[in-house]
């Protein structure tokens, strides 16, 4: 039986390149203090021998793991549903980390026990930084990790005042454009299906809706969902019971809007003839609903990419903007 080929060592690379072991170590770990011709000799020896660095040993020297955690305080059934917002954020984060030569560690932390597990993991030196998305309530974990010196960036403005940088979208501006469009189209009894009120996205989208109607001296008609299709269907039924004469509804997510369209169809209401419907997100599904959904587009993958760039800059010791807000836009289709 043929003996297994031994893994090339740092010493073997040093002999091949004609330099010291310490020089090879500096080149492999990214040092810029070694002259370029020597760096090239080392890199050539690495390629010829097929040397692969011992990442565990390297992390002890550099104090870096080349890994970044994305923490989602949600159940797996929610993250991997047909919402498409979470997968879009994950794609944006993953692509940015891949370009930087970093590894993504995805962590779901729905319960209090899982929060404690995540805290131990992150503080145990397993990752170089932490990204948070879909925070509920005043979550102490981002601020707690940031105070230990670990780079932390949130997707969405955290509730409360933790000293944590964040990247968000212009919720209020997007909703304001949507409601004004409905008013300019002649709609007079405009309801909303708001998102959960323990999340900034739900709070600010409702605030945007109420602000425009208040300025127009019109009554708010509100039901609350949890960003799922089923909650949108139930909330739409509640709105029809509360005000059978409503002629438009702004829905705080496209998935809830899909559920609302189903309820309207079952109630015999034509969209947009009887009731105009506008969603928020512009996930792929919005183009294929019946009828196609007018919605407020948020740059989902850009959220993931931007928060990752911010984290990498923070980890490199650079100054960053503590708050980055990305623009939204109204996308007109058939439903309004």
| Predicted local confidence at residue 53, as pLDDT | 62
Q: What is the mean pLDDT of the chain?
A: 88
Same fold, 10-62 and 171-297: no
Minimal CA–CA distance to 16: which of 41, 33, 50?
41
| Predicted local confidence at residue 59, as pLDDT | 46
Q: For the whole model, what pTM was predicted?
A: 0.78
**In the structure, what pLDDT confidence band is assigned to residue 2 with cuts at 50, 70 and 90?**
very low
Q: 141 or 287: which carries more pLDDT confidence?
A: 287
- The Cα 179–Cα 174 span in angstroms is 9
Q: With 80 as the cut, is the pLDDT of residue 62 above it?
A: no
Query: Which one is the CATH code of 67-168+300-326: 3.10.20.90, 2.160.10.10, 3.40.50.2300, 3.40.50.970?
Result: 3.40.50.2300
Please, what CATH class does the domain formed by 10-62 belong to?
mainly alpha
| Predicted local confidence at residue 27, as pLDDT | 79
Most confident of 48-57, 209-218, 309-318: 209-218
pLDDT > 90 in the chain, percent: 58
What's the whole-number mean pLDDT along residues 284-306? 95
Residue 79 is classified by DSSP as H
Question: Are the C-beta atoms of 311 and 129 separated by less than 8 Å?
Answer: yes
Transcribe 236-252 into DSSP letters: HHHHHHH-TT--EEEES
**In the structure, what pLDDT confidence band is assigned to residue 60 with cuts at 50, 70 and 90?**
very low
- The Cα 88–Cα 229 span in angstroms is 18
| Predicted local confidence at residue 141, as pLDDT | 85
Topology of domain 171-297 in CATH is Rossmann fold (3.40.50)
- The Cα 77–Cα 65 span in angstroms is 29
Could you tell me the residue ranges of all domains in the chain?
10-62, 67-168+300-326, 171-297
Minimal CA–CA distance to 283: which of 305, 271, 299?
299
Q: Which range among 68-77, 91-100, 191-200, 298-307 shows the weakest confidence by mean pLDDT?
A: 68-77
pLDDT per position as a tens digit, 123-133: 777 888 999 99
pLDDT per position as a tens digit, 217-252: 999 999 999 999 999 999 999 999 999 999 999 999
| Predicted local confidence at residue 29, as pLDDT | 66
């Amino acid at each position: 039986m043929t003996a297994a080929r031994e893994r090339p060592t740092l010493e073997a690379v040093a002999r091949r390149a004609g330099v010291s072991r310490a020089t090879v170590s500096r080149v492999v770990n990214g040092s810029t203090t070694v002259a370029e011709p020597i760096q090239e000799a080392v890199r050539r020896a690495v390629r010829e021998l097929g040397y692969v660095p011992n990442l565990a040993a390297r992390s002890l020297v550099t104090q870096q793991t080349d890994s970044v955690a994305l923490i989602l305080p949600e159940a797996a059934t929610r993250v991997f549903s047909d919402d498409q917002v979470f997968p879009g954020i994950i794609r944006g984060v993953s692509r940015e980390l891949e370009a930087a030569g970093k590894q993504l560690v995805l962590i779901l932390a729905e319960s209090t026990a899982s929060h404690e597990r995540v805290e131990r993991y992150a503080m145990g030196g397993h990752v170089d930084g932490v990204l948070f998305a879909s925070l509920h309530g005043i979550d102490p974990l981002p601020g707690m990790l940031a105070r230990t010196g670990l780079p932390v960036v949130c997707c969405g403005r955290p509730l409360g005042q933790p000293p944590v940088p964040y990247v968000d979208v212009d919720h209020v501006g997007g909703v304001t454009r949507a409601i004004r469009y409905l008013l300019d189209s002649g709609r007079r009894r405009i309801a909303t299906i708001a998102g959960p009120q323990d999340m900034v996205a739900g709070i600010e989208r409702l605030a945007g809706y109420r602000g425009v109607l208040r300025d127009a001296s019109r009554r708010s008609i509100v039901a609350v969902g949890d960003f799922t299709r089923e909650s949108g269907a139930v909330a739409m039924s509640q709105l029809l019971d509360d005000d059978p004469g409503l002629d438009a509804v702004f829905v705080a997510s496209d998935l809830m809007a899909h559920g609302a369209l189903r309820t309207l169809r079952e109630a015999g209401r034509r969209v947009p003839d009887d009731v105009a419907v506008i969603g928020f997100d512009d996930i792929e599904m919005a183009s294929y609903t019946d009828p196609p959904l007018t919605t407020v587009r948020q740059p989902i993958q850009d959220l993931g990419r931007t928060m990752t760039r911010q984290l990498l800059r923070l980890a490199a010791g650079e100054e960053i903007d503590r708050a980055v807000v990305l623009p939204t836009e109204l996308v007109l289709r058939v439903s309004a």
